[in-house]
């Protein structure tokens, strides 16, 4: 029996097996990188790359953009005294922002909502009474969103196209049917200064400056005087970095696919959520109430 021809074949097989093993190890290593395609936010099930999504993206914590653009968002208003002051400040900075209004407040102060829209800001749905939507049945959620949709349309003549769940609390299933029924994109955030805990204006400013990068969606609540006090310095500092403020819909319109290499080398989230912070589907501070308006 002649064994000679089988020896090179065996060597070839050995070589292929070795090469395969090395390349698999390479893949495994890159999977272990602390890649964070979506920065920290309260919602966790949207960490899949956008390219893997079947249809258009529904939920945004931040947006991958090429330019120095960010979206500042103000939740829970309008507030009778603070929102007009904020609008004056925004006008002085030539900034456009997004207001996630609570329907009850929008219905009470439609003229403030109207002014905000007239001055180029985006008005979006933040529910009617700021409940924990993730814990509610579909009919109740639908009423919360529809009443607010109606109040916004009554104030400014057009329907909103974005919604943000109070506390960031919403289930994956709710996102889908809300998007199907209302056409809303679901907007969370990647920068949270925790201003509702009233840490003082300088802390609010520092947290925003530390966490904001191009494409960020910044959460704030213009219903607290200390948040408003923090804004002039915050805006000055972000502008000094060359960042430009656009509405959330404008930011989404600038979305670019995240290159695979950039995704693999993206730094880990800068600040993890504190314990007890909202998590997808399980969310909610112990006592969700309008007094703890995170989100």
Find how far residue 106's CA is from the centre of its chain.
Answer: 22
The catalytically annotated residue of 121, 130, 221, 224 is 221
Residue showing tokens 């959460």:
219
Cα dihedral 115/120/125/129 (nearest 10): -30
Report in angstroms the alpha-carbon separations of 210 from 7, 19, 159, 247: 62, 44, 34, 21
Report in angstroms the alpha-carbon separations of 80 from 87, 109, 126, 292, 295: 12, 7, 17, 19, 19
Comparing CB distances to Zn ion, the nearer of 201 and 288 is 288
List contacts with Zn ion (CB under 5 A). Answer: 75-76, 166, 293, 295
Q: 99: which strand partners?
A: 74, 123
Comparing CB distances to Zn ion, the nearer of 90 and 187 is 187
Output the smallest distance, CB 96 to Zn ion, in A. Answer: 20
CA-based max dimension of the chain: 98
Comparing CB distances to Zn ion, the nearer of 78 and 295 is 295
Using alpha carbons, select from 164, 85, 82, 93 the residue that is nearest to residue 122.
Answer: 164
Output the smallest distance, CB 127 to Zn ion, in A. Answer: 8
Q: Provide CB contacts within 8 A for 255, sequence distance 6+.
A: 50, 57, 63, 64, 65
Comparing CB distances to Zn ion, the nearer of 65 and 112 is 112
DSSP-assigned letter for residue 196: G
Output the smallest distance, CB 269 to Zn ion, in A. Answer: 22
Q: Is the peptide bond preceding residue 78 cis, with omega within 30 degrees of 0?
A: yes
Comparing CB distances to Zn ion, the nearer of 134 and 293 is 293
Asked if residues 247 and 98 have their Cβ atoms less than 8 Å apart, the reply is yes
- Does the active-site annotation cover 150? no
Asked if residues 148 and 185 have their Cβ atoms less than 8 Å apart, the reply is no
The catalytically annotated residue of 46, 75, 190, 192 is 75
Count Cβ atoms below 10 Å from residue 240 Cβ, excluding itself.
9
- Does the active-site annotation cover 195? no
Which residues are designated catalytic? 75, 221
């Amino acid at each position: 029996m002649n064994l000679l021809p089988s020896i090179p074949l065996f060597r070839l097989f050995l070589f292929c097996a070795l090469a395969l093993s090395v390349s698999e190890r390479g893949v495994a290593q890159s999977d272990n990188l602390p890649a964070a395609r979506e920065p920290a936010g309260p919602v966790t099930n949207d960490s899949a790359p956008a390219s893997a999504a079947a249809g258009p993206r529904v939920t945004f914590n931040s947006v991958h953009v090429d330019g120095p653009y960010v979206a500042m968002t103000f939740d829970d208003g309008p507030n009778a005294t603070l929102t007009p002051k904020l609008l004056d400040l925004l006008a002085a900075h030539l900034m456009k922002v997004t207001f996630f209004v609570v329907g009850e407040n929008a219905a009470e102060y439609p003229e403030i909502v109207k002014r905000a829209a007239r001055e180029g800001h985006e008005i979006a749905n933040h529910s009617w009474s700021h409940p924990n939507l993730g814990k509610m049945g579909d009919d109740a959620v639908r009423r919360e969103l529809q009443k607010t949709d109606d109040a916004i349309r009554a104030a400014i003549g057009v329907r909103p196209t974005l919604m943000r769940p109070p506390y960031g609390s919403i289930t994956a299933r709710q996102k889908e049917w809300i998007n199907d029924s209302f056409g809303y994109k679901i907007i969370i955030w990647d920068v949270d200064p925790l201003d509702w805990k009233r840490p003082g204006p300088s802390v609010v400013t520092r947290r925003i400056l530390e966490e904001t990068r191009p494409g960020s969606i910044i959460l704030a609540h213009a219903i607290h005087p200390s948040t408003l006090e923090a804004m002039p310095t915050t805006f000055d500092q972000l502008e000094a970095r060359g960042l430009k403020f656009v509405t959330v819909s404008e930011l989404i319109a600038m979305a670019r696919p995240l290159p695979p290499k950039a995704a693999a080398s993206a730094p880990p989230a800068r600040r993890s959520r504190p314990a007890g912070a909202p998590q997808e589907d399980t969310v909610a501070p112990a006592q969700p109430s309008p007094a703890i308006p995170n989100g």
